[in-house]
Chain A
Amino acid sequence: MAGAAARLAPNPRSASRFEANVATRDPGLVKVVVLAIGLTFFAVFLLMPLVAVFAEALRKGWGTYLAALIEPDALAAIRLTLLAAAIAVPLNLIFGVAAAWAITKFDFPGKQFLITLIDLPFSVSPVVAGLIYVLIFGAQGWFGQWLFAHDYKIIFAVPGIVLATVFVTFPFIARELIPLMQAQGRDEEEAAITLGASGWQAFWYVTLPNVKWALLYGVILCNARAMGEFGAVSVVSGHIRGETNTMPLHVEILYNEYQFAAAFAVASLLALLALVTLAIKSYIEWRAGVAAQVEIGS
């Protein structure tokens, strides 16, 4: 069948095939130059900083490194970062799935506007995002007086940090899902409904399994950003040590106080998170790739 033919035919995207063919092979010099440029860039701008973070963190030995991490302020920063991510990621998971579902499976007025709006946190500077919340909830803001009167604290407190994180990480999951769900169309959901499934069953048994890899990918990216966000959180945090400092903010404070080893120690945690994220991301891409190949091999 077609599948067998597709497997026998050489993969047109395979680099080795391109390389093995005399007609398409580039001269050796071109190859060397391109590789040299690429690898130099990679080494200087990516590898070196990464190595530097860990080297600086461990410069004064493991003792100092661990001490910097278990110091109360650092622990508080780690806890707050985890809390913000633990709230922002599930919220965005729900928002993202709902938005992608609405946009791809229904037609309604204002759909195009909603698609544009989802990108807003990407297109606006994170500092502005933070400022928006200060203007709305801050002491001089729209609801400032009312909040103060009722003793609610949002700005310079944990809720503000969570809000800013949610705002900044909003697009990640929806952006991953929308193109995929648009490509998949509505046929399978319609089939499910004609077979007697409720809307919820169609979503749970048909839509969700079809997008699970994209969803996971979105969650990973969303989480990485939620933990690493600096700009928006910095504006609403107030930098109260041990209370409203997230890890990125804590790194900045330590660095400004010339505690380089401690700053790099906390920074190395964030770098580690990035590495773990990349590893999981690669794994998901590989799994999704395998799934897609099964899909294509028909």
Chain B
Amino acid sequence: MSIEVRNISKTFGAFKALDDVTLSLPKGELIALLGPSGCGKTTLLRIIAGLEHADSGSITLSGRDATSKTVRERHVGFVFQHYALFRHMSVFENVAFGLRVKPRAQRPNENVIREKVMRLLDLVQLAWVADRFPSQLSGGQRQRIALARALAVEPEVLLLDEPFGALDAKVRKELRRWLRRLHDELHISSVFVTHDQEEALEVADRVVLMNKGHVEQIGSPWEIYNQPATSFAYSFIGNVNAFRGRVEGGNLRVGNDLLAHGSQELADGTSVIGYARPHDTHILPEFAGQDGIVARVNRILTNGAVSRVELIATGECRKDAPEYFEVEISPAEIASLGLEAGKRVRLASHKLALFNDTTQGRIQ
């Protein structure tokens, strides 16, 4: 089922959770709503499900206006962060619930229910816990049961609210691979909310990046990671070094230091932020000319093939709070540069992404 979200706004008291959000989610994909906490992603998911009412705007499911439809009429499956299993029912009864509450005319008979529930429990590989109670299961098992329960009513779209948020790191990783596999088998349109960029980039076909109640960027995981559209997208996804300054000819002036930006037509005096990934940032010896941001090596972490060098900015503009930078280079480079804690160096990058500091728009 395709989902159309048009001009949805929602406020809670003085807090604007969603500000005129418009989205079009095609059928059959696994979509991640990604963003920091408080960005409105869960609210948007609950509005799509009908659990929350939007102040304005409309929701269209499969081409039909669903804005004023009840939760029951929308045929969505919803998976909650804290599972929300019925604690007084066995696992079997939990999964059977959606079938048992159907109107008498549509309610399948006991044999059909039994067969269907066991098939779903097989699907989530938990048929052996059918007679247990939710409290006797681990978190990962509970969430798989919650998923089986949601699938029992054959929803047209599956909505998952931080489905792995309450689980520990190892189980998370297993479950998200499993969710991806399940989606490839069932091809049910699914939207899941997460604040974990790794999760979103690894599992989803398409990522909707949200911030402060609006959509920052929609794209494939590759696009989101490699072509961030906004300043926020750049800083939220992956590790990044930020350089804030003013344009001065072919350079960016950051405090007393100059950083080549490599762009041709930039008006002098424009306030910009330059971003560079740790592996696109270089360390130069301190005496090597004027270029580069002066920084002091703080720590060197060598785990495996790549070393991470953590540096503290020492330039004049950073007097108040130390600004940290991170650079990824090979251990061989560390040796040839003679890096050690406390050594002063300069930082530069040949792949600087520039954003206008006031409009947040991308310049280069």
Contacts and interface: CB of A to CB of B under 8 A. Distances in A.
Interface of A: 1-3, 187-188, 190-198, 201, 205-206, 209-210, 294-298
Nearest to B135: A298
Contact of B84 (A1, A187, A198, A201): A187
B163 to A, nearest CB: 13
Contacts of A297: 135-136
Interface string B149-166: 110110000000000000
Contacts of A192: 86, 97, 101
Given A210-B87, A298-B135, A195 B149 contact: yes
B98 A195 contact: yes
Given A188-B84, A198-B101, A205-B101, A193 B71 contact: yes
Interface string B78-97: 10101011111100000001
Name, among B97, B137, B138, the residue most crowded by chain A CB atoms within 10 Å (CB to CB).
B97
Contacts of B84: 187-188, 190-191
B97 A197 contact: yes
Q: Which 7 pairs show the lowest CB-CB distances between chains A and B? A: A195-B98, A187-B84, A194-B78, A191-B84, A298-B135, A197-B101, A209-B88
B318 interface: no
Contacts of A194: 49, 51, 71, 76-78, 150
Nearest to A292: B135
A196 B88 contact: no
A191 B138 CA distance: 19
B98 A196 contact: yes
A190 B80 contact: yes
Contact of A196 (B89, B102, B136, B146): B102
Contacts, number: 74
Interface residues of B, number: 30
Nearest to B77: A194
Nearest to A3: B136
A51 to B, nearest CB: 42
B72 interface: yes
Nearest to A187: B84
B72 A198 contact: yes
B138 A196 contact: no
Interface of B: 49, 51, 71-72, 76-78, 80, 82, 84-89, 97-98, 101-102, 133-138, 146, 149-150, 152-153
Nearest to A293: B135
- A2, A191, A194, A196 interface centre (most CB from chain B within 10 Å): A194
Contacts of A205: 86, 97, 101
A2 B136 CA distance: 10
Nearest to B74: A194
B86 A298 contact: no
A294 B135 contact: yes
A192 B93 CA distance: 12
Nearest to A197: B101
A196 B72 contact: yes
